Amino acid sequence: MSREQSNKVRRRAPIELDGQEFREVGYALVDEIADFLDSIRERAVTTGATPEAIREVLGDKRLPESGMDAKQIALDAARLLIDHSLYNGNPRFMGYITSSAAPIGALGDMLAAAVNPNVGGWVLSPMATEIERQTIRWIAELIGYPSSCSGLLVSGGNMANFVGFLAGRSAKSPRSLREKGLREQPQMTVYVSRETHTWIQKAADLFGLGTSAIRWIPVDQRRRMDMQALAQQVIDDRRAGFQPIMVVGAAGTVAVGAVDPLSQIAEFCRNEKMWFHVDGAYGAPAAALPEAEADLQSLRLADSLALDPHKWLYSPLEAGCVLVQDGQRLVDAFSFTPEYYHFHEGFSEQPVNFFEWGMQNSRGFRALKVWMALRQVGRSGYVQMIREDIELSRQLYHMVAATPELEAVTNNLSITTFRFVPTDLRNAGEVNIEYLNELNRGILNEVEAGGEVFVSNAVVNDQFLLRACIVNFRTTAVDLEKVVEVVVRVGRALDAKLRPEKLQQTRKV
């Protein structure tokens, strides 16, 4: 066959890898990843390197004009990432709400990328669409949400909350809203506790209500929404001509893991004909525990619910999930059917086209990694891991409380907050709040850069606190001891350095 003829039947594009080449590159990469997983407990949590140093390692290279060997690229990329990352899979990582990733999820993402179904339309992704639907049902079953619900996977908690927010907004406004926008609407208002995650500001802004539509309801001692204040605010707003449309309850606030009085909010919304959305981005999976508090289990009453498989279901980033009791609400909020889609009409049932249920059009197969992990450990595996995370968090609270220089402040779900207080400042009262805040801010900076352990922070009653959130199936009691040891060591040293400087400054003034 001439070259010209063989090009007709087999085009050799520069980006192609045939099966044998893929096998070789892939095995080499899998070996690197397997070694990484075996070493993740021993590595420093982070290198603490500066942005300049990281760019130096990467090299300020120009766009390559021509290509290079695929195996070399894969191994280069592995070295760059494996040697210069923060490892949230390390057992001593307890920052923010970022979990260790289930290794099976990495394989799920690889398989999803290889087959590459477009889960926007059923005909483009027959098995993937059905697996995503099953994943949605399984997540609902796991946390006790009605399994007749609808839902879909999105990129994370923000997007999941946005979808719930939009479903609620369209449910509580006339159908003409989609055409006429907000112009001819009374001004809509939404009700959230002061502890609500910043997604609500993005939603109010992006979807045209404006952030002044947010009513920030005060919280009680336990950082839960104050129901009386909520009721009063709704009355006041109705009198003033606003249209209250939605209450957002938290199933685990981002700062301290507080759970709002969800059953009371549900009843309130029923009576007031308002939409009840629950932000369970962090805490919803804990509703799977039989011993979960009644308020957490009341998330089943929400009209819509956001949760984050990439948090407490240990999925690799990204995977968020929104569940809606009445699937028609998603169609009402999102469906347009353009003429350039002609999907197969011959089925006896109308198949699900996810592009009609949410914001995305083309959609990747995020569900696969979640589905594979659900199958790997089952309900009992998740219950065990989440329960252990919660127990460890309580243990940390007690260890901190038993340490003279540390003050334990809150413990909810798997979040414990605390701070370093030099023993001689223990009873010195209000005078020291500024100094203690500065000291603990400094401690956090040093601890985070040091790489021994990783915690983040919360601010409660104007106090700057250290915060450990355990959504990490690798963490053990030994890692908690390390947190206490490191914070005390760094705290002592920083206090010895900062306090004389402070005293000098006050003398000068």
Kindly state whether residue 281 participates in binding ligand PLP, applying the rule CB under 6 A: yes
Q: How many residues bind ligand PLP (CB under 6 A)?
A: 13
Closest residue by Cα to residue 170 from 196, 207, 201: 207
Closest residue by Cα to residue 285 from 420, 480, 171, 139: 139
Kindly state whether residue 308 participates in binding ligand PLP, applying the rule CB under 6 A: yes
Kindly state whether residue 97 participates in binding ligand PLP, applying the rule CB under 6 A: yes
Kindly state whether residue 158 participates in binding ligand PLP, applying the rule CB under 6 A: yes
Separation between Cα atoms, residue 281 and residue 269, nearest integer Å = 21
- Candidate ranges 43-51, 276-284, 289-297, 432-440; the one touching ligand PLP (CB under 6 A): 276-284
Kindly state whether residue 467 participates in binding ligand PLP, applying the rule CB under 6 A: no
| Residues shown for the chain | 509
Concatenating the DSSP letter of every residue in 169-194 gives HHHTS-TTHHHHTTTTSPPEEEEEET
Pure H helices in 402-476? 433-450
Taking the least distance from each CB to ligand PLP, the nearer of 105 and 121 is 105
- Candidate ranges 157-165, 211-219, 370-378, 456-464; the one touching ligand PLP (CB under 6 A): 157-165
Kindly state whether residue 197 participates in binding ligand PLP, applying the rule CB under 6 A: yes
Closest residue by Cα to residue 331 from 312, 298, 353: 353
| SS3 per residue for 151-170 | EEEECCHHHHHHHHHHHHHH
Kindly state whether residue 103 participates in binding ligand PLP, applying the rule CB under 6 A: no
Binding test (CB under 6 A) with ligand PLP, winner from 237, 260, 272, 279: 279
User: Measured in whole angstroms, how far is the alpha carbon of residue 277 from the centre of its chain?
Assistant: 17
Q: Which residues pair with 154 in a beta bridge?
A: 320
Pure H helices in 408-459? 433-450
Taking the least distance from each CB to ligand PLP, the nearer of 192 and 406 is 192
Question: What residues from 312 to 331 belong to the interface with ligand PLP (CB under 6 A)?
Answer: 320
Q: Which residues pair with 280 in a beta bridge?
A: 307
Q: How far is the CB of 306 from ligand PLP (least distance, A)?
A: 7
Q: Which residues pair with 150 in a beta bridge?
A: 324
Question: What residues from 360 to 389 belong to the interface with ligand PLP (CB under 6 A)?
Answer: none
- Candidate ranges 150-158, 238-246, 333-341, 454-462; the one touching ligand PLP (CB under 6 A): 150-158
Taking the least distance from each CB to ligand PLP, the nearer of 89 and 249 is 249
Q: How far is the CB of 505 from ligand PLP (least distance, A)?
A: 38
Binding test (CB under 6 A) with ligand PLP, winner from 122, 162, 282, 397: 282
Separation between Cα atoms, residue 435 and residue 419, nearest integer Å = 12
Using CB atoms, what's the residue nearest to ligand PLP?
A: 157
Q: Are 46 and 454 in contact (CB under 8 A)?
A: yes
Binding test (CB under 6 A) with ligand PLP, winner from 177, 234, 254, 390: 254
Kindly state whether residue 156 participates in binding ligand PLP, applying the rule CB under 6 A: yes
Taking the least distance from each CB to ligand PLP, the nearer of 120 and 156 is 156
**Residue 388 parent element (H or E):** helix 367-401
Taking the least distance from each CB to ligand PLP, the nearer of 133 and 197 is 197
User: Measured in whole angstroms, how far is the alpha carbon of residue 432 from the centre of its chain?
Assistant: 35
Which residues form the interface with ligand PLP (CB under 6 A)?
Answer: 97, 156-158, 161, 197, 199, 254, 279, 281-282, 308, 320
